[in-house]
Amino acid sequence: MPTKNYFDNTEVAFKLKSDSELERAYFLFKMISKEPLVRIGTAVTKFALNINLPVESLIRATVFDHFCGGVSEMDCMTTVDRLYDVGVFSVLDFSVEGKEEEAQFDATAKKVVELTHFAKNKEAMPFSVFKPTGFGKFDVFRKKSEKATLTESEENQWQQIVRRYEDVSKTAYDCDISLLIDAEEYAMQDAADMLCEKMMEKYNREKPVVFNTLQCYRWDRLEYLKEHHQRAKEKGYKLGYKIVRGAYLEKENERALEKGYPSPICESKKATDDNFNEIMTYIMSNLDDISLFVGTHNEGSTYLAMELMEQMGIAKDDPRMWFGQLYGMSDHITFNLGEMGYNVAKYLPFGPVKDVMPYLIRRAEENTSVAGQTSRELSLLKKERNRRKL
């Protein structure tokens, strides 16, 4: 591991934040560090939004503006440009979740196609992204994953999902933009993986255009990766993978218990960390075949990647190797990596306040004292407040 702590520089980490934005972030992380407050806060917010209480402006002024780029893609452009000025790329993420209508799935796919065309002429945006359940119903993915027989209507819906995957993948190929596909819940992921493999087989012939995501809290992912690598070699196409630890830990363990199947999740945090690092090392050792997007806020894994790059003679700006963090989190990693010349991007979510609530709730939950990320964010914010004498 590099001996110096490269991420300690809070002046670099928070250089885009004004004093008032820094104070807001400090206040916010202090609030969401309290687990009971997050639990009560999310319940009250959901209720208030459902009965149309006017809480949107309050949400906008607090969590929304901290974790999102805006309501529309145009709102995000100032942030995209400011990030690019300091060496950080943007992945615009239309984070509308929980939709169930075919017309809404079409609208989301259309939005991803539009954003991909837009990104073609915007150097600051080398990636597009979408979530499988943004393009179709969770239950259709789930039944397809279980190899259950679909009703005629479900079969039609599946064909529409395939068409939407095809539309965005072809657009990404035509625009020469890499397309990241997020991973979601275990119960529906097999069908999403299978469809993604088809897109890769078609569009990754010359280079990786379509990227799937491996959630390394799943103990079966290294084996899956190795098998997929073998299949891709036999069929003559390249792979692209984003690796993350995984965001649905409690839900997965609860569902496995409820349905009586073994949990797909590693037995401990340490096992997840080891799995993440092993998967990352495997990909980096096969960079000619597999491009990598390391999506993490974990300093240890980021250091390991930097160390391996040095050992393996991989240039900091090698186009096959990317780092990524979520907007509003771990700026100390993002901005210091950018300053050192690594390829690094922020996932920048946007969408109507009500529709991005599931995303915001996941962020609040993963930042409680229980999940353990807040204390680090808070201590860095505190350090920078002291440095600025606020």
Ligand X SMILES: Cc1cc2nc3c(=O)[nH]c(=O)nc-3n(C[C@H](O)[C@H](O)[C@H](O)COP(=O)(O)OP(=O)(O)OC[C@H]3O[C@@H](n4cnc5c(N)ncnc54)[C@H](O)[C@@H]3O)c2cc1C
Closest distance between ligand X and the C-beta of residue 260, in Å?
20
Closest distance between ligand X and the C-beta of residue 298, in Å?
4
Q: Which is nearer to ligand X, 266 or 360 (CB)?
A: 266
Q: Which is nearer to ligand X, 26 or 359 (CB)?
A: 359
Cα Rg, the chain, nearest whole Å: 20
Closest distance between ligand X and the C-beta of residue 325, in Å?
5
Cα 208 from Cα 228, distance rounded (Å)? 14
CB atoms within 10 A of CB 289: 15
Closest distance between ligand X and the C-beta of residue 7, in Å?
13
Closest distance between ligand X and the C-beta of residue 193, in Å?
12
> Which spans of this chain sit near ligand X (rule: CB under 6 A)?
182-183, 213, 215, 217, 244-249, 265-266, 268-269, 272, 295-298, 324-326, 347, 366, 373
List, in sequence order, every residue forming a beta bridge with 90; answer none if it has no partner.
346
Q: Which is nearer to ligand X, 69 or 324 (CB)?
A: 324
Parallel/antiparallel/unpaired status of strands 210-215 and 178-181: parallel
The 3-state DSSP class for residue 32 equals helix
Half-sphere exposure of 116 (CA within 13 A, CB side): 25
State both tokens at 11.
């002046």
State both tokens at 229.
């690598």
Q: Which is nearer to ligand X, 366 or 384 (CB)?
A: 366
Q: Which is nearer to ligand X, 237 or 347 (CB)?
A: 347
Residue 350, judged by CB atoms within 10 A of its CB (0-12, 13-18, 19+), counts as buried
The one-character DSSP state at 367 is T
Q: Which is nearer to ligand X, 182 or 331 (CB)?
A: 182
- Among all residues, whose Cβ is closest to ligand X? 295
Residue with tokens 């064909």: 159
Closest distance between ligand X and the C-beta of residue 50, in Å?
25
